[in-house]
Structure 1
Amino acid sequence: MNDQTPAAVAASYFEALGRGDMPAAMALLSPDVVWHQPGSNRFSGDHKGLDGVGALLGGMMEASQGTFQLAVTGPAMVNGELVAVPVTFSGTRTGASMDMAGIDLLTVRQGNIVDVRLFSADGATEDSFWGQA
């Protein structure tokens, strides 16, 4: 990638997710990435490194029976190395579903995403969907 501005890195990341290209999305994460998953559910907390984030995302796909999806719903907002992106995310599993708005806040340094912070419009519904460990 020639353009490694925070906006360009974030755009490439979300484009890869939209295509379902997890290797391309993961390649944009720093090896030392820290992913802050909100809420009080089995996936909540800090997930560190590519292995930790990969395990998190794999677990979410498994828990949602392969239905978890994320879509960008508006333009990225950039403030230096921070990129805030409005999204919707959804999933279904036996007996439950969710579909809600959120904000993904990425910190991008030297062409890599080093920090991911997620915000959900309805944390209680998200917690209920993911369930406890």
Structure 2
Amino acid sequence: MAQPIMTGAVSHPLVQAIITYQQAMATGDFVAGRSVFRDDVIYVVPGTNLFSGTYRGPDAVMGYFGKLMGETGGSYAIDAMQWLVCGDKVLLETKNSATRAGTSLAWDEAILFVFVDGKKARIDLFQADQAAVDAFFAA
């Protein structure tokens, strides 16, 4: 993928918290990555695929990401494109890509983060083409 150009409220403290998390995860600093979640965080993955469901708590969320990286042989990538902030909510538009079982997929996604006291309390994913994501990540 081409280098993304991030636009929107990039300097906002909540956006910076998400960017710091992404950088920690990219470098394998899972302790720092885990620290941005509230203990009661909820992460909702839509659809009818291997990853669909509601993950509760930092361990479950981190487990989801571990499984995602395992299923894609570490190829899963997310490029932040546009940030929108309203109060304690951040909407991130992304371009995602991955390879699984010899097949590649690139897709658009929106991620809604809800923060409480500066930590991620809820994350909801929205796929531009849910059917394609479901087919790609079929169980």
Equivalent residue, structure 2, for 1:59: 67
1:23 CA displacement? 3.3
- Structure 1 residue 30 and structure 2 residue 38: aligned? yes
Identity of aligned residues (%): 28
Number of equivalenced pairs: 129
Secondary structure of residue in 1 paired with 2:75:
coil
TM-score w.r.t. length of structure 1: 0.85
Q: Does 1:125 align with 2:129?
A: no
Rounded Cα–Cα distance in structure 2 between residues aligned with 1:100 and 1:126: 8
Cα distance in structure 1, aligned partners of 2:71 and 2:120: 25
Say which is worse superposed, 34-43 or 22-31, in terms of deviation.
22-31
In structure 2, runs of 5+ residues without a counterpart are 1-11
In the TM superposition, residue 77 of structure 1 has moved relative to its aligned partner by: 0.7
Please, what is the CA RMSD of the aligned residues?
2.1
Structure 1: gaps spanning 5 or more residues: none
Q: Which has the higher contact order (CA 8 A, sep 6+)?
A: 1
Q: TM-score under structure 2 normalisation?
A: 0.82
- Equivalent in the alignment of 2:9: none
Per-residue deviation, 1:52: 0.8
In 1, Cα distance between equivalents of 2:50 and 2:121: 23
Q: Which runs of 4+ in 1 moved over 6 A?
A: none
Which 10-residue stretch deviates more, 87-96 or 36-45? 87-96
Which segment is superposed worse, 106-115 or 15-24?
15-24
Provide the residue aligned with 1:10 in structure 2.
18
Mapped to 2, the partners of 1:64 and 1:43 lie a distance apart of 12
Q: What SS does the corresponding residue of 1:101 show, helix, strand or coil?
A: strand
